[in-house]
Amino acid sequence: MLEKNPDSKDMTDLIGQSLYDVWQELNARISQKYDMNCTWNSGGKAWTYEYKYRRGGKTLCALYAKENCIGFMVILGKNERTKFESDKDSYSQIIQKIYDETKTYHDGKWLMFEPRDSSMFDDFMKLLEIKRKPNRK
């Protein structure tokens, strides 16, 4: 756990204003579709911060931040990979490439994306829908 959660100034100082805007927009998109518990953690060796979306003991996804960089991670288990692969062509080339290049572990594929803008957000939301149906609104 962190001593204190980063505020908007901490985040802007770390990743810069344009990436902070991307971070905010991605958070808003996820929060709009999913009612999740969100927790801040340290980002381990590779990242400064982790912001994880969980509910009922299951992680939906996590956002990461380090100097001048943000990350979006989603882990696809065996059944979720099957769903993705059956619909793979509907995803952008960059999503397919990262999927193909990501090592498969016993518990799934840990897909890490480093968005610079919102161009992959629609694909991110489709990946999340594989993991969990969005809230009914």
- What pLDDT is stored for residue 77 in this prediction? 96
| pTM attached to this predicted model | 0.94
Residue 44 domain-assigned (yes or no): yes
Residue 41 domain-assigned (yes or no): yes
Structural tokens at position 105: 């572990």
Instruction: Identify which of 38, 31, 44 has the alpha carbon closest to the alpha carbon of residue 110.
Output: 44
Residue 137 domain-assigned (yes or no): no
Question: For residue 136, is pLDDT > 80?
Answer: no
Residue 136 domain-assigned (yes or no): no
With cut-offs at 50, 70 and 90, classify the pLDDT of residue 137: low
Residue 3 domain-assigned (yes or no): no
pLDDT digits (tens, 9 = 90+) for 29-44: 999 999 999 999 999 9
Total domains in the fold of the chain: 1
Structural tokens at position 18: 């344009």
- What pLDDT is stored for residue 88 in this prediction? 97
- What pLDDT is stored for residue 3 in this prediction? 80
pLDDT digits (tens, 9 = 90+) for 52-106: 999 989 999 999 999 999 999 999 999 999 999 999 999 999 999 999 999 999 9
What domain range includes position 67? 8-131
Instruction: Identify which of 68, 69, 64 has the alpha carbon closest to the alpha carbon of residue 53.
Output: 64
Asked whether 76 and 111 are in contact (CB, 8 A), the reply is yes
Residue 69 domain-assigned (yes or no): yes
Residue 2 domain-assigned (yes or no): no
Residue 1 domain-assigned (yes or no): no
